[in-house]
Amino acid sequence: MSFKDDFTEEQWIQVIAAPLVAGLAVTAADPSGLVGAVQESAALAGSLKSAGEGASAGSLVAEVIEAYTTGDGRKSARDDTMALIKGRKPAEACEAAVARLGETAALVAATAPGEADDFRRFIRETAQRVAEAGTEGGFLGFGGEKVSDAERKTLADIDAALGGMS
């Protein structure tokens, strides 16, 4: 039996969307233009790949990453994330994404408590990788800083939402 079977269809989509939501929260915290968006998207994909390589077989994280290998899984995660931010300004999207991460962490803790710590760590590491992907405040990728103040604040908010991770 898979972890997917422990969740309703709507809950499972929320769980598999969590890495995208984490990346979105950081990106929306300090939008950095086209170059930054591409770098942050690549960091998200890299995070999924490396987490997949390091995830224990049969774990919730492995199952979430496995969902991204299917068109339906990717589409469900993307559609859920887009619905979350539809019509919101970046700051509002960031706030909604952080709140959703808290809800998802609580859902995982209640449904698969033995997997909750690894899941939260996976989500937090994804957010960190996205934050470190681009250079904020520079020009065409030159100058600036790796993680902006707004991104640091968002990472702290994500930590709090996930239950005090860091």
* Helix or strand run (H / E) with residue 80: helix 71-85
**142 SS3 class:** strand
**84-137, pLDDT tens digit by residue?**
999 999 999 999 999 999 999 999 999 999 999 999 999 999 999 888 886 655
Whether pLDDT at 39 is above 80? no
pLDDT of residue 95: 97
Whether pLDDT at 139 is above 70? no
**55 SS3 class:** coil
**43-76, pLDDT tens digit by residue?**
666 667 676 676 777 899 999 999 988 999 999 9
**140-162, pLDDT tens digit by residue?**
555 566 788 899 999 999 999 99
Domain span holding position 70? 3-161
Is residue 166 domain-resident?
no
Is residue 104 domain-resident?
yes
Is residue 85 domain-resident?
yes
Instruction: Say if CB 151 and CB 30 are below 8 A apart.
Output: yes
pLDDT of residue 144: 60
Is residue 103 domain-resident?
yes
